Structure 1
Amino acid sequence: MPHVKNLRNYSGYFYTIDPFFSDENFLTKLNNRTSGIAGPILVDGAKRDQTVWAGDMGVSLPTGFVSTNDLFPARNSLSTSLSLQDPTTGALPFAGPPVYGYVSDTYHAWTLLGAYNYYLYSGDITWLRTSWNNYTKAVAYLANKVDSSGLLDVTGIEDWGRLWQGDYNSEANAIYYKASSWLLHVVELAGYMNDSSLAATYANNASALKAMFNEKFWLSSAGMYRNNLTSTMCPQDANLFAVLFSLTTSAEQASSVSEGLTKKWGAYGSVSPELPETVAPFIGSFEIQAHFLSGNDARAMELLHLEWGYMLYTPLSVQSTLLEGYTSNGSLYYRSYDGYNYDPSYTSHSHGWSTGPTYAFTFYVLGLTLTSPMGQTWSVAPHTSGLSFAQGGFETPLGWFGVEWKSTGNSFTIARTMPEGTSGVVVLPITGTITLDGNAVQQTGMLSIDGGNHTVSVQE
């Protein structure tokens, strides 16, 4: 309700006491609930659970950043999760109140990734320092589940809806790898390097896990990663996360995974082998990025047309591209899994975890990303994807970051506006003669440029 300045300024109300029930405020609690330690917060949907879910925030948090730069809900959501941390084990909740339980190793790791993203976009060092003990304790909780195999042994099996979670699972190990390696990055960025032993531990753990991940999960016959040590099923989630989180060891391996993912495409989108007969836009949001990162832009665009095109134009929906999920035959049911049974329920039409294209366009097609908090350093690496132009940007506490590029096939021009005092790199999509602000330069491929207004052109 953006037109309402104060949502608490109700023009009407109802109040009474119920003398016939154990809770006298029962009647006025029917439409009232507490979902976080403060508001606003990020929830999974406008209806349904209306709860903080760490996995959903893996998509909705960066979407909120690139679209509105409203990170206050993300901060409140993360603080809610950290406030519920088990003080003995360090476990983080699967979701916020009133749903929460300590039953998911993957969503535990997603909270850590969300905290990193929040810090990267906001530069909120005060919040990070306040949360640091919770953060490191949460990483230790997962690290203690890495046994002599060198892999995370998953005991908290609740997840985004997938089947066959638990034990030495590749998806969970991929997310844990990113959580631990990002924590190393946070140590560096936040100036906590006085604890050199902590930093060395994170670096060694991440390196060892990457080697073991490829040794144990890579299935050469399929050119993809398998679900666990006893399975030949190659899941959508683990494979795209392997590309996104830099677990692949070569460009050829990443491209093989990208190709393998397309073999599971159906008429209405990418069907998840780990949740049969189901299209899950949450995981599809990440698959788009995996195709971009592996250099297969055409596949990313095709999946966008296939999956989000169906959601937008199907007469079964309401012209929403925010469906929670649907079956592989296009029926608007979402087959979730509670650890024991399928739950084929009607899908939500307003699920934040399906907004992945929003920031994928900015981060990959436009090519604009931050490489240090608030954008003190940045990167512009456009994926032209057959398009003739793109423009856009976002804002951080340092100011406006804007990019506009035009492509004619044998020439490419990019104009960018970055806050003064920042610096970054521009990665050009074609090779040729390069000019910077009209002056010829001798560099090729990638240019280092300071903030301000600059124009780079390349002619084949």
Structure 2
Amino acid sequence: MPPASINNYTLPLFDYPLWWVTCSWDYLLYTGDRDYAARYYPQLLKVLDTWYPSVTDDAGLLNKGLNGTAGYGDYAFLGRTGRVTYYNANYVQALGDAARIAVHLGHAGDAQRWQERAKKVAQAINTHLWDESAGAYLDSATGAVRHAQDGNAIAITSGVADSERAAAALAHLDKTTKRRYGNAFMDNDTLFGGASQRVYAFTSYPELVARFETGLADSAIDQIKRTYGWMDSHDPGITQWEGIGPDGSLYEDAYTSMAHGWSTGVLPALTHQLLGAKPTSPGYATWEVRPHPGSVNWAQGELPTPKGPLGVEWVRKGATFTLTVRAPRGTLGAVALPTNGHRVTVYSGGRTLWKNGRATTSAVRPEAGYVTVSVLDQGTHRFTVVRES
């Protein structure tokens, strides 16, 4: 796929077909547009069962350079070759998303094949690309040793990294990439000069998601404040920059895009992770609200769905956390109420749903750090969580 819709622009990108797969699943998830998924399913098969296998090596990893791809670009035209963690973690993500599309369209065999391949690629990443000495994934198995934000973050969000590796990788990024204007996308300058000072909001997005979903909400919020606070407080203000360079400069001087679509990942991160609301099946037929509040005291938002708005608001005052959901007609959902490891009592509509570590109904169950209430249909649902002394 070319990087731009320009006639005769022939430079293909090694990673963009994988992003097309993931974006196709996202589009289906948000809209329920089954016709789109069915129409482009043949292209999905070509991407995952023809092209990417043609650039897979004997370890089961994508290897940039095989099949004439050494000169291919990627999202930032980076000079990376060989076994690159980012490409392979992206591959695991895309295979999982494609399997979900296949299940929705009734292609169970394709889904199983892609799920099995995703597991094998994930195992190969952990075998060949984990750097035990650094506690992080290598950027590439070829050339100088470095560790990248993109590969480490997506290894976490795609499920490649277990909890121990995820914690180590995020700690490494904290130690080596933290800047006052965001987190840099490389931990040293072996790829090019100044790489360790350059911030991409595009690759910061999966790191934000990884931090929220591994229990590091406050570090995600801090990163949002540094990255987007810098953009907001510098000319022209409010807009999302394509990239930030050393000392917070425009990374490509006057050629830097100052209103770039790929830098808006903070919006889904605030919606899906901080507020906690997201669809769990196409067209919001089912949904979930799972807040990751950290030290934030309140949040509210409304998600447009094909069936009407899904409204969510929560507030924390002292030992009490209150969450309200307004669900559209024809949907079913669940809420995960944060406990932060404390013993809590959960109330809703004058009823006690959870007390003394036990549920009063089969629709309520405990999870790590949450009490989940399921089978919620249309209408307003209000829950109060009180920390027990």
Taking structure 2 as the reference length, the TM-score comes to 0.86
Match of 2:247 among 305, 310, 329: 329
Please name the residue that 1:225 is paired with.
Answer: 137
Contact 2:179 2:197 in 1 (8 A): no
Please name the residue that 2:356 is paired with.
Answer: none
Structure 1: 5+ residue stretches without partners: 1-91, 335-343
Please name the residue that 1:238 is paired with.
Answer: 151
Cα distance change of structure 1 residues 151 and 409 upon mapping to structure 2, 3 Å threshold: farther
> Any idea what SS the aligned residue of 1:144 has?
helix
The percentage of aligned residue pairs carrying the same residue is 29
Contact 1:255 1:295 in 2 (8 A): no
Please name the residue that 2:25 is paired with.
Answer: 116
Please name the residue that 1:406 is paired with.
Answer: 315
Match of 1:248 among 133, 146, 161: 161
Please name the residue that 1:283 is paired with.
Answer: 203
Counterpart of 1:181, as a letter, is: G
Please name the residue that 2:347 is paired with.
Answer: 435
Please name the residue that 1:450 is paired with.
Answer: 376
Residue 373 of structure 1: CA displacement? Answer: 0.4
Take 1:99 and 1:446, find their aligned partners in 2: how far apart are those partners?
53
Contact 1:412 1:458 in 2 (8 A): yes
Take 2:112 and 2:106, find their aligned partners in 1: how far apart are those partners?
14
Take 2:63 and 2:245, find their aligned partners in 1: how far apart are those partners?
31
> Any idea what SS the aligned residue of 2:323 has?
strand
Counterpart of 2:384, as a letter, is: S
Residue 358 of structure 1: CA displacement? Answer: 1.2
Counterpart of 2:183, as a letter, is: S
Deviations 1:260-308 (A, max 9, x none): 1112112222122253431212212222222112211111111111111
Paired residues, what number? 354
Are residue 358 (structure 1) and residue 267 (structure 2) matched? Answer: yes
Cα distance change of structure 1 residues 254 and 162 upon mapping to structure 2, 3 Å threshold: farther
Contact 1:93 1:108 in 2 (8 A): no
Residue 100 of structure 1: CA displacement? Answer: 4.1
> Any idea what SS the aligned residue of 2:258 has?
coil
Counterpart of 2:52, as a letter, is: L
Cα distance change of structure 1 residues 449 and 100 upon mapping to structure 2, 3 Å threshold: farther
Contact 2:37 2:101 in 1 (8 A): no
Are residue 311 (structure 1) and residue 219 (structure 2) matched? Answer: no
Counterpart of 1:455, as a letter, is: R
Contact 1:370 1:377 in 2 (8 A): yes
Contact 1:426 1:449 in 2 (8 A): no
Take 2:45 and 2:4, find their aligned partners in 1: how far apart are those partners?
19
Residue 95 of structure 1: CA displacement? Answer: 3.3
Take 1:414 and 1:169, find their aligned partners in 2: how far apart are those partners?
42
Larger radius of gyration: 1
Take 2:383 and 2:180, find their aligned partners in 1: how far apart are those partners?
41
Cα distance change of structure 1 residues 174 and 352 upon mapping to structure 2, 3 Å threshold: same
Counterpart of 1:173, as a letter, is: N
Residue 163 of structure 1: CA displacement? Answer: 3.2
Contact 1:255 1:296 in 2 (8 A): no
Structure 2: 5+ residue stretches without partners: 354-358
Take 1:345 and 1:174, find their aligned partners in 2: how far apart are those partners?
33
Taking structure 1 as the reference length, the TM-score comes to 0.73
Take 1:328 and 1:119, find their aligned partners in 2: how far apart are those partners?
39
Please name the residue that 1:425 is paired with.
Answer: 334
Residue 424 of structure 1: CA displacement? Answer: 2.1
Contact 1:321 1:354 in 2 (8 A): no
> Any idea what SS the aligned residue of 2:328 has?
strand
Please name the residue that 1:161 is paired with.
Answer: 76
Contact 2:278 2:287 in 1 (8 A): yes
Cα distance change of structure 1 residues 102 and 131 upon mapping to structure 2, 3 Å threshold: farther
Counterpart of 2:181, as a letter, is: Y
Take 1:309 and 1:158, find their aligned partners in 2: how far apart are those partners?
30
Name segments (4+ residues, structure 1) moved above 6 Å. none
Residue 116 of structure 1: CA displacement? Answer: 1.2
Counterpart of 2:334, as a letter, is: V
Please name the residue that 1:301 is paired with.
Answer: 221
Cα distance change of structure 1 residues 217 and 223 upon mapping to structure 2, 3 Å threshold: same
Counterpart of 2:239, as a letter, is: T
> Any idea what SS the aligned residue of 1:325 has?
coil
Counterpart of 2:123, as a letter, is: A
Please name the residue that 2:46 is paired with.
Answer: 137
Are residue 171 (structure 1) and residue 86 (structure 2) matched? Answer: yes
Root-mean-square deviation (CA, aligned residues, Å) is 1.8
Are residue 146 (structure 1) and residue 56 (structure 2) matched? Answer: yes
Deviations 1:13-45 (A, max 9, x none): xxxxxxxxxxxxxxxxxxxxxxxxxxxxxxxxx
Take 1:418 and 1:278, find their aligned partners in 2: how far apart are those partners?
41
Deviations 1:213-250 (A, max 9, x none): 1111111111110012244211111001111111112x
Residue 311 of structure 1: CA displacement? Answer: 1.0
